[in-house]
Amino acid sequence: MQSWQLPEHIADILPTTARQLESAREKLLALFRVHGYELVQPPLMEYSNSLLTYIDAGLSLKTIRVVDQLSGRQLGIRADITPQVARIDAHLLSANNGINRLCYAGSVLHARPDGLLSTREPLQIGAELYGHADVAADIELIDLMLKSMAVADIGEVLLSLGHIGVFRALAEAAKLNEQQSLQLLSLMQDKDADAVAEQVRVWQLDGMWAKALTLLPSLYGSREVLAEARAKLPELSAVSKALDELEAVCNAFAEQAVHIDLSELRVDNYHTGLLYAAYGKDCHDAVARGGRYDGLGAHFGRSRPATGFSFDLRTFIGRLPAIERLPVVMVAQQDAEAAAEAVEKLRAAGQSVIIDYGVEHNGSKEVAGRLKNADGVWQVVQD
């Protein structure tokens, strides 16, 4: 193996793509800012317990760990920024008992890729809202997520909705233990209705709960699914509340294409309620995911209602608008010292100025002119 080769699923980003990504990042952060979301920048590495690897098996498998040579304690390289932002809200911003709107943009590192074509170094961008338990907060975040999708050419966006609360209410009523719930969750995620039916039969659940859990994988489709769910699922207050929240979101986005799936439970273990995702045209997987995760801050000393979304900006590579390299002004090497003041004025005004050493350079095709002295005045002259 050559010494310069990179690990699998790790790649350099070259100038043309880097310009696209950075421009998109700037637009997204500007979008978040005008909606009241303040930028935070958590560290790339923390003590592994702070990254909540001990409460989420999937997150734990993704997290790369090393030993801190200063303290001897185990460090983790973040695989998800959301727990870090929850820590910031719960600890560093605890003086604010009201709403905190926070956003972020930074690289995360995965010990293993999510898929065959996935990178192990996503550029995670997202927004989180803490301190408001009403579905209105979820609607605000969904609106911001959909607006974020406009940075790339992904065509018509499909909003996918689910609610982990429906499954958890049924599992609790059926008196499933934690291991049984996790096992059934896995079958639900695989959309294996026959396997779900067989499993509840083996457990000999009460007929009402067995029927309800077996029904979940079939409750998907357009907005009419909600009426079907109300008619067929048991009358539990938690189920009714979940369906009410889903209906409120549907009403808030009356013109938006919506898909509802009550067995769409592909979430991190810390999610607690409404789930939402955005799918783009010709995209085989969601390009953005989010949901409610009330109480996550309790692990840092302050339990708070919370909702938010995130996505990997690198997913949009190939769909982002082209960002051309800035045209450059050349100044001959022998003139650079004498023209220094003029060069700095041009650069301060946003003009790219480079020194011409007499050899070809990577901006040769974008030369806007040359800085030359005409009657004691440095001026940009067209070639």
pLDDT in tens, 320-357: 998 888 889 999 999 999 999 999 999 999 999 999 99
Q: Which of 221-235, 266-280, 356-370 has maximum average pLDDT?
A: 221-235
The more confident residue out of 140 and 367 is 140
309 forms bridges with which residues in the sheet? 127, 290
Assess whether pLDDT exceeds 70 at residue 118: yes
- Per-residue confidence band for 184, with pLDDT thresholds at 50, 70 and 90: confident
Q: What is d(CA 315, CA 269) in angstroms, rounded to the nearest whole number? A: 23
Nearest to 141 by CA among 103, 170, 93, 94: 103
Evaluate if residue 88 carries a pLDDT over 70.
yes
pLDDT exceeds cutoff 90 at 367: no
Domain 158-279 annotated CATH 3.30.930.10 = yes
Task: State pLDDT tens for residues 233-292.
Answer: 999 999 999 999 999 999 999 999 999 999 876 656 778 899 999 999 777 789 999 999
Neighbouring CB atoms inside 10 A of 172's CB total 13
Q: 112 in helix, strand or coil? A: coil
Residues 13-44: pLDDT tens digits? 999 999 999 999 999 999 999 999 999 999 99
Average pLDDT over residues 108-114: 92
What integer pLDDT is reported at residue 268 of this predicted model? Answer: 63
- CATH topology of 1-153+291-324 equal to that of 158-279? yes
Nearest residue to 123 via CA among 104, 140, 141: 104
Annotated binding-site ranges for L-histidine: 80-82, 124, 128, 266
pTM score, whole prediction: 0.90
Question: In the structure, what pLDDT confidence band is assigned to residue 1 with cuts at 50, 70 and 90?
Answer: low
Instruction: Give pLDDT tens digits for 135-166.
Output: 999 999 999 999 999 988 888 999 999 999 99
Band of pLDDT at residue 294, cut at 50, 70 and 90: very high
Mean pLDDT score across all residues of the chain: 90
Q: Which residues are annotated as part of the binding site? A: 80-82, 124, 128, 266
* Contact (Cβ atoms closer than 8 angstroms) between residue 253 and residue 140: no
> Where do the domains of the chain lie?
1-153+291-324, 158-279, 328-381
Q: Span 100-113, mean pLDDT?
A: 95
Please give the DSSP secondary-structure letter assigned to residue 335: G
Please give the pLDDT value at position 267: 55
Q: What is the DSSP string of 177-229?
A: -HHHHHHHHHHHHTT-HHHHHHHHHHHT--HHHHHHHHHGGG-EESTTHHHHH
Assign domain 1-153+291-324 one CATH number from 3.30.70.1450, 3.30.930.10, 3.40.462.20, 3.40.640.10: 3.30.930.10
pLDDT of amino acid 363: 63
